[in-house]
Amino acid sequence: MTESLRWGILATGGIARMFTTDLRLHGFDVRAVGSRSESSAARFADEFEIDRMHGSYESLVADPEVDVVYVATPHPMHAENAVRALEAGKHVLVEKAFALNEAEARRIAEAAEANGRVALEAMWTRYLPHMVRIRELVAAGVIGDLRGLIADHTQLLSEDPAHRLNALELGGGALLDLGIYPISFAWDLFGEPAEITAAATFKPSGADAQVSAVFRYDGGRTASTFSASNTQGPNTAVVLGSEARIEIDSVWYSPTTFRVVRPDGVVVEEYVSQVEGRGMHYQAAALERAVADGRLDGGDILPTRESVAVMGTLDRIRAQIGLAYPGE
Protein backbone atom coordinates (compact mmCIF):
# COMPACT_ATOMS: atom_id res chain seq x y z
CA MET A 1 0.00 0.00 0.00
CA THR A 2 2.89 2.38 0.61
CA GLU A 3 4.18 2.20 -2.97
CA SER A 4 1.00 2.80 -4.99
CA LEU A 5 -2.38 3.16 -3.36
CA ARG A 6 -5.48 1.97 -5.15
CA TRP A 7 -7.99 4.79 -5.45
CA GLY A 8 -11.75 4.62 -5.29
CA ILE A 9 -13.82 7.60 -6.49
CA LEU A 10 -16.94 8.25 -4.41
CA ALA A 11 -19.46 10.29 -6.45
CA THR A 12 -19.32 11.15 -10.14
CA GLY A 13 -19.86 14.89 -10.45
CA GLY A 14 -17.75 17.54 -12.15
CA ILE A 15 -15.05 17.80 -9.49
CA ALA A 16 -14.63 14.02 -9.47
CA ARG A 17 -14.11 14.11 -13.23
CA MET A 18 -11.44 16.79 -12.98
CA PHE A 19 -9.62 14.96 -10.20
CA THR A 20 -9.77 11.58 -11.93
CA THR A 21 -8.53 13.14 -15.17
CA ASP A 22 -5.40 14.33 -13.34
CA LEU A 23 -4.96 10.99 -11.58
CA ARG A 24 -5.06 9.16 -14.90
CA LEU A 25 -2.76 11.68 -16.55
CA HIS A 26 -0.10 11.15 -13.89
CA GLY A 27 -0.28 7.37 -13.58
CA PHE A 28 -2.20 6.89 -10.33
CA ASP A 29 -4.03 3.61 -9.84
CA VAL A 30 -7.74 4.42 -10.11
CA ARG A 31 -9.25 1.08 -9.26
CA ALA A 32 -12.98 1.70 -8.65
CA VAL A 33 -15.84 4.19 -8.74
CA GLY A 34 -19.04 4.34 -6.72
CA SER A 35 -22.26 6.26 -7.24
CA ARG A 36 -25.78 6.17 -5.87
CA SER A 37 -26.85 4.62 -9.18
CA GLU A 38 -25.28 1.86 -11.22
CA SER A 39 -25.86 3.75 -14.46
CA SER A 40 -23.89 6.78 -13.26
CA ALA A 41 -21.07 4.58 -12.00
CA ALA A 42 -21.04 2.71 -15.30
CA ARG A 43 -20.79 5.89 -17.36
CA PHE A 44 -17.94 7.20 -15.20
CA ALA A 45 -16.14 3.86 -15.31
CA ASP A 46 -16.44 3.77 -19.09
CA GLU A 47 -15.20 7.34 -19.46
CA PHE A 48 -12.08 6.73 -17.36
CA GLU A 49 -11.54 3.03 -18.15
CA ILE A 50 -12.09 1.93 -14.56
CA ASP A 51 -12.58 -1.80 -14.08
CA ARG A 52 -14.63 -1.86 -10.88
CA MET A 53 -17.88 0.02 -10.43
CA HIS A 54 -20.40 0.14 -7.60
CA GLY A 55 -24.01 1.25 -7.49
CA SER A 56 -23.74 2.45 -3.90
CA TYR A 57 -21.23 4.23 -1.70
CA GLU A 58 -21.42 1.40 0.83
CA SER A 59 -20.30 -1.08 -1.79
CA LEU A 60 -17.40 1.11 -2.89
CA VAL A 61 -15.92 1.56 0.60
CA ALA A 62 -16.23 -2.19 1.21
CA ASP A 63 -14.26 -3.02 -1.95
CA PRO A 64 -11.08 -4.92 -0.92
CA GLU A 65 -9.35 -3.58 -4.06
CA VAL A 66 -9.56 0.01 -2.75
CA ASP A 67 -7.04 1.54 -0.33
CA VAL A 68 -8.09 5.21 -0.40
CA VAL A 69 -11.44 6.84 -1.12
CA TYR A 70 -11.81 10.28 -2.68
CA VAL A 71 -15.03 11.81 -1.32
CA ALA A 72 -16.61 14.16 -3.87
CA THR A 73 -20.19 14.46 -2.61
CA PRO A 74 -21.79 17.79 -1.61
CA HIS A 75 -20.64 19.33 1.69
CA PRO A 76 -23.40 17.97 3.96
CA MET A 77 -22.50 14.39 2.99
CA HIS A 78 -18.72 14.69 3.51
CA ALA A 79 -18.66 13.58 7.14
CA GLU A 80 -21.01 10.64 6.65
CA ASN A 81 -19.17 9.31 3.61
CA ALA A 82 -15.68 9.94 4.98
CA VAL A 83 -16.42 8.27 8.30
CA ARG A 84 -18.00 5.30 6.51
CA ALA A 85 -14.84 4.86 4.44
CA LEU A 86 -12.52 5.29 7.43
CA GLU A 87 -14.44 2.72 9.43
CA ALA A 88 -14.06 0.35 6.47
CA GLY A 89 -10.30 0.74 6.81
CA LYS A 90 -9.76 3.16 3.93
CA HIS A 91 -7.77 6.39 3.87
CA VAL A 92 -9.78 9.37 2.64
CA LEU A 93 -9.21 12.49 0.58
CA VAL A 94 -12.24 14.69 1.27
CA GLU A 95 -13.23 17.54 -1.01
CA LYS A 96 -12.98 21.02 0.38
CA ALA A 97 -14.51 22.43 2.40
CA PHE A 98 -13.62 19.48 4.64
CA ALA A 99 -17.16 19.26 6.05
CA LEU A 100 -20.25 21.38 6.66
CA ASN A 101 -18.99 22.72 9.99
CA GLU A 102 -16.30 22.23 12.61
CA ALA A 103 -18.21 19.56 14.52
CA GLU A 104 -18.52 17.39 11.41
CA ALA A 105 -14.87 17.99 10.52
CA ARG A 106 -13.91 16.82 14.01
CA ARG A 107 -15.93 13.64 13.47
CA ILE A 108 -13.82 12.87 10.41
CA ALA A 109 -10.57 13.56 12.26
CA GLU A 110 -11.62 11.40 15.21
CA ALA A 111 -12.66 8.54 12.94
CA ALA A 112 -9.31 8.71 11.15
CA GLU A 113 -7.44 8.56 14.45
CA ALA A 114 -9.60 5.74 15.81
CA ASN A 115 -9.04 3.63 12.69
CA GLY A 116 -5.38 4.48 12.13
CA ARG A 117 -6.00 6.04 8.73
CA VAL A 118 -5.17 9.32 6.97
CA ALA A 119 -7.93 11.87 6.39
CA LEU A 120 -6.77 14.71 4.16
CA GLU A 121 -8.71 17.71 2.89
CA ALA A 122 -8.60 18.08 -0.89
CA MET A 123 -7.46 21.71 -0.77
CA TRP A 124 -5.43 21.17 -3.92
CA THR A 125 -4.11 24.75 -4.07
CA ARG A 126 -1.91 24.15 -1.02
CA TYR A 127 0.11 21.55 -2.93
CA LEU A 128 0.66 23.40 -6.21
CA PRO A 129 4.31 24.18 -7.07
CA HIS A 130 3.84 27.96 -7.08
CA MET A 131 2.36 27.81 -3.58
CA VAL A 132 5.27 25.65 -2.42
CA ARG A 133 7.65 28.29 -3.79
CA ILE A 134 5.72 31.13 -2.11
CA ARG A 135 6.03 29.41 1.27
CA GLU A 136 9.76 29.00 0.65
CA LEU A 137 10.16 32.70 -0.13
CA VAL A 138 8.21 33.74 2.95
CA ALA A 139 10.16 31.36 5.20
CA ALA A 140 13.46 32.64 3.80
CA GLY A 141 12.52 36.24 4.63
CA VAL A 142 12.69 37.38 1.00
CA ILE A 143 9.70 39.71 1.46
CA GLY A 144 10.63 40.65 5.02
CA ASP A 145 8.11 40.53 7.83
CA LEU A 146 4.64 39.48 6.72
CA ARG A 147 2.18 42.35 6.78
CA GLY A 148 -0.95 41.15 5.04
CA LEU A 149 -2.84 39.27 2.35
CA ILE A 150 -5.48 40.37 -0.15
CA ALA A 151 -7.25 37.63 -2.15
CA ASP A 152 -10.54 37.07 -3.94
CA HIS A 153 -12.34 34.08 -5.40
CA THR A 154 -15.21 35.36 -7.51
CA GLN A 155 -17.20 33.70 -10.27
CA LEU A 156 -20.36 34.50 -12.19
CA LEU A 157 -22.28 31.28 -11.61
CA SER A 158 -25.81 30.02 -12.13
CA GLU A 159 -28.68 31.91 -10.51
CA ASP A 160 -30.97 28.88 -10.82
CA PRO A 161 -32.41 28.26 -7.31
CA ALA A 162 -32.25 24.52 -7.96
CA HIS A 163 -28.52 24.62 -8.70
CA ARG A 164 -26.38 22.99 -6.00
CA LEU A 165 -24.50 26.24 -5.37
CA ASN A 166 -27.75 28.03 -4.50
CA ALA A 167 -29.28 25.25 -2.38
CA LEU A 168 -28.77 25.69 1.36
CA GLU A 169 -29.69 22.07 2.02
CA LEU A 170 -26.62 21.11 -0.03
CA GLY A 171 -24.33 23.61 1.69
CA GLY A 172 -24.55 25.90 -1.31
CA GLY A 173 -23.25 29.45 -1.32
CA ALA A 174 -20.08 31.40 -1.90
CA LEU A 175 -18.41 30.68 1.44
CA LEU A 176 -17.94 26.90 1.38
CA ASP A 177 -17.37 26.59 -2.36
CA LEU A 178 -15.31 29.71 -3.10
CA GLY A 179 -14.38 31.46 0.13
CA ILE A 180 -12.62 28.38 1.44
CA TYR A 181 -9.76 29.09 -1.00
CA PRO A 182 -8.60 32.53 0.20
CA ILE A 183 -9.49 31.68 3.80
CA SER A 184 -7.37 28.53 3.71
CA PHE A 185 -4.58 30.61 2.11
CA ALA A 186 -4.75 33.09 5.00
CA TRP A 187 -4.53 30.18 7.44
CA ASP A 188 -1.55 28.83 5.51
CA LEU A 189 0.40 32.07 5.93
CA PHE A 190 -0.79 33.40 9.29
CA GLY A 191 -2.57 30.64 11.19
CA GLU A 192 -5.69 31.25 13.26
CA PRO A 193 -7.03 34.82 13.25
CA ALA A 194 -7.40 36.61 16.57
CA GLU A 195 -10.37 38.63 15.31
CA ILE A 196 -12.79 38.26 12.40
CA THR A 197 -15.04 40.89 10.85
CA ALA A 198 -17.41 39.58 8.18
CA ALA A 199 -20.28 40.83 6.03
CA ALA A 200 -22.42 39.18 3.35
CA THR A 201 -25.26 39.51 0.89
CA PHE A 202 -27.69 36.71 0.09
CA LYS A 203 -29.67 35.25 -2.79
CA PRO A 204 -33.44 34.65 -2.69
CA SER A 205 -32.75 30.99 -1.87
CA GLY A 206 -30.98 32.06 1.33
CA ALA A 207 -27.54 31.04 0.03
CA ASP A 208 -24.75 33.54 0.48
CA ALA A 209 -23.93 35.43 -2.73
CA GLN A 210 -21.00 37.53 -1.49
CA VAL A 211 -18.88 37.23 1.65
CA SER A 212 -16.20 39.67 2.79
CA ALA A 213 -13.99 38.71 5.72
CA VAL A 214 -11.15 40.63 7.34
CA PHE A 215 -8.87 38.77 9.73
CA ARG A 216 -6.62 40.39 12.31
CA TYR A 217 -3.66 38.54 13.78
CA ASP A 218 -1.34 39.14 16.70
CA GLY A 219 1.48 41.43 15.68
CA GLY A 220 -0.71 43.70 13.56
CA ARG A 221 -1.01 41.54 10.46
CA THR A 222 -4.28 41.40 8.51
CA ALA A 223 -5.85 39.40 5.70
CA SER A 224 -8.71 40.52 3.49
CA THR A 225 -10.73 37.91 1.59
CA PHE A 226 -13.71 38.23 -0.72
CA SER A 227 -15.78 35.49 -2.31
CA ALA A 228 -18.78 35.79 -4.59
CA SER A 229 -20.84 33.57 -6.86
CA ASN A 230 -22.66 36.40 -8.63
CA THR A 231 -19.80 38.41 -10.10
CA GLN A 232 -16.50 37.75 -11.87
CA GLY A 233 -13.55 39.48 -10.26
CA PRO A 234 -9.80 39.38 -10.96
CA ASN A 235 -9.12 36.22 -8.91
CA THR A 236 -5.70 37.49 -7.94
CA ALA A 237 -3.84 37.61 -4.65
CA VAL A 238 -1.11 39.73 -3.10
CA VAL A 239 1.09 38.74 -0.15
CA LEU A 240 2.47 41.89 1.47
CA GLY A 241 5.75 42.07 3.35
CA SER A 242 7.90 44.80 4.85
CA GLU A 243 10.51 44.53 2.09
CA ALA A 244 8.59 43.21 -0.93
CA ARG A 245 5.26 41.83 -2.10
CA ILE A 246 4.27 38.70 -4.01
CA GLU A 247 1.78 39.41 -6.80
CA ILE A 248 -0.01 36.20 -7.81
CA ASP A 249 -1.71 36.36 -11.18
CA SER A 250 -5.13 35.06 -12.15
CA VAL A 251 -6.19 32.47 -11.39
CA TRP A 252 -4.13 32.56 -8.20
CA TYR A 253 -5.45 29.30 -6.72
CA SER A 254 -4.59 27.24 -9.84
CA PRO A 255 -1.23 26.82 -11.61
CA THR A 256 -0.19 30.36 -12.53
CA THR A 257 2.57 32.95 -12.42
CA PHE A 258 3.75 35.34 -9.73
CA ARG A 259 6.32 38.07 -9.19
CA VAL A 260 8.26 39.19 -6.13
CA VAL A 261 8.34 43.00 -6.31
CA ARG A 262 10.27 45.41 -4.10
CA PRO A 263 8.76 48.77 -3.10
CA ASP A 264 10.91 50.49 -5.75
CA GLY A 265 9.32 48.31 -8.45
CA VAL A 266 12.30 46.03 -9.01
CA VAL A 267 11.20 42.46 -9.71
CA VAL A 268 13.26 40.11 -7.56
CA GLU A 269 11.82 36.87 -8.94
CA GLU A 270 9.36 35.76 -11.58
CA TYR A 271 7.78 32.33 -11.34
CA VAL A 272 5.94 30.48 -14.11
CA SER A 273 4.13 27.25 -13.27
CA GLN A 274 5.03 24.21 -15.35
CA VAL A 275 2.17 21.84 -14.54
CA GLU A 276 0.73 19.17 -16.78
CA GLY A 277 -3.03 19.07 -16.32
CA ARG A 278 -4.94 20.93 -13.64
CA GLY A 279 -2.54 20.06 -10.84
CA MET A 280 -4.98 18.15 -8.64
CA HIS A 281 -2.69 15.12 -8.55
CA TYR A 282 -0.29 16.84 -6.13
CA GLN A 283 -2.76 16.39 -3.28
CA ALA A 284 -3.10 12.70 -4.13
CA ALA A 285 0.67 12.35 -4.04
CA ALA A 286 0.71 14.10 -0.66
CA LEU A 287 -1.77 11.61 0.75
CA GLU A 288 0.25 8.68 -0.56
CA ARG A 289 3.40 10.17 1.02
CA ALA A 290 1.61 10.60 4.34
CA VAL A 291 0.58 6.95 4.27
CA ALA A 292 4.07 5.80 3.28
CA ASP A 293 5.66 7.89 6.05
CA GLY A 294 3.10 6.88 8.67
CA ARG A 295 1.98 10.52 9.00
CA LEU A 296 -1.57 9.96 10.19
CA ASP A 297 -1.79 13.70 10.89
CA GLY A 298 -1.90 14.32 7.12
CA GLY A 299 1.55 15.89 6.80
CA ASP A 300 3.03 19.35 7.16
CA ILE A 301 1.31 21.21 4.32
CA LEU A 302 -2.25 20.75 5.59
CA PRO A 303 -2.52 18.68 8.78
CA THR A 304 -5.94 17.25 9.51
CA ARG A 305 -6.17 19.30 12.69
CA GLU A 306 -5.77 22.48 10.63
CA SER A 307 -8.62 21.49 8.31
CA VAL A 308 -10.78 21.14 11.42
CA ALA A 309 -9.64 24.55 12.69
CA VAL A 310 -10.31 26.20 9.31
CA MET A 311 -13.89 24.91 9.53
CA GLY A 312 -14.05 26.63 12.91
CA THR A 313 -13.13 29.91 11.21
CA LEU A 314 -15.89 29.37 8.64
CA ASP A 315 -18.30 28.75 11.52
CA ARG A 316 -17.26 32.06 13.11
CA ILE A 317 -17.88 33.87 9.83
CA ARG A 318 -21.29 32.25 9.44
CA ALA A 319 -22.24 33.27 12.97
CA GLN A 320 -21.50 36.90 12.09
CA ILE A 321 -23.38 36.95 8.80
CA GLY A 322 -26.33 34.89 10.08
CA LEU A 323 -25.87 31.87 7.83
CA ALA A 324 -27.08 28.46 9.00
CA TYR A 325 -27.63 25.24 7.07
CA PRO A 326 -30.72 23.02 7.43
CA GLY A 327 -30.31 20.33 10.06
CA GLU A 328 -27.56 22.06 12.04
Listed residues 108, 125, 142: the one ending a domain: 125
Question: Does 223 sit behind a cis peptide bond, omega within 30 degrees of 0 on the bond before it?
Answer: no
Same domain, 204 and 97: no
* 195 and 104, same domain (yes or no): no
What is the rounded CA–CA span in Å between residue 300 and residue 322?
A: 33
- Residue 179 DSSP symbol: I
User: How confident is the model over 127-180, as pLDDT tens digits?
Assistant: 999 999 999 999 999 999 999 999 999 999 999 988 999 999 999 999 999 999
Tell me if 315 is assigned to some domain.
Answer: no
Whether residues 117 and 103 share a domain: the answer is yes
pLDDT (0 to 100) of residue 3: 64
Is residue 324 a part of any domain in this protein?
Answer: no
Same domain, 116 and 138: no
DSSP for 41-105, please give it: HHHHHHHHT-SEEESSHHHHHT-TT-SEEEE-S-GGGHHHHHHHHHHTT-EEEEESSSSSSHHHH
- pLDDT mean by block of 10 residues, the chain; 328 residues: 81 98 97 97 98 98 98 97 98 98 98 98 98 98 98 96 92 97 98 98 96 96 98 98 98 98 98 97 98 97 98 98 94
Asked whether residue 40 is domain-assigned, the answer is yes
How many structural domains compose the chain?
2
**Are residues 53 and 70 located together in one domain of the fold?**
yes
Name the residue range of residue 92's domain: 6-125
* 252 and 150 in a common domain: yes
Which of these three, 227, 245, 274, is where a domain ends?
A: 274
Tell me, yes or no, whether 193 and 72 share the same domain: no
Secondary structure of residue 252 in the 3-state scheme: coil
Q: Report how far residue 171's alpha carbon sits from residue 247's, in angstroms, rounded to the nearest whole number.
A: 32
Q: Clarify whether residues 172 and 116 are in a common domain.
A: no
Q: Is residue 72 part of a domain?
A: yes
Q: Is residue 202 part of a domain?
A: yes
Task: Clarify whether residues 71 and 189 are in a common domain.
Answer: no
b/e 109-141 (16+ beta carbons within 10 angstroms → b) = bebbeebebbbbbbbbbbbbebbebbeebbeee
Domain for residue 304, yes or no?
no
Asked whether residue 235 is assigned to any structural domain, the reply reads yes
Residue 42 in domain: yes
Question: Distance (Å, rounded) from C-alpha 149 to C-alpha 198?
Answer: 16
Q: Are residues 139 and 100 in the same domain?
A: no
Is residue 117 domain-shared with residue 135, that is, in the same domain?
no
What CATH code is carried by the domain that includes residue 161? 3.30.360.10
Question: Last residue of a domain, which of 88, 104, 125?
Answer: 125
Residue 45: give its domain's CATH number.
Answer: 3.40.50.720
Do 183 and 221 belong to one domain? Answer: yes
CB 113 within 8 A of CB 199: no
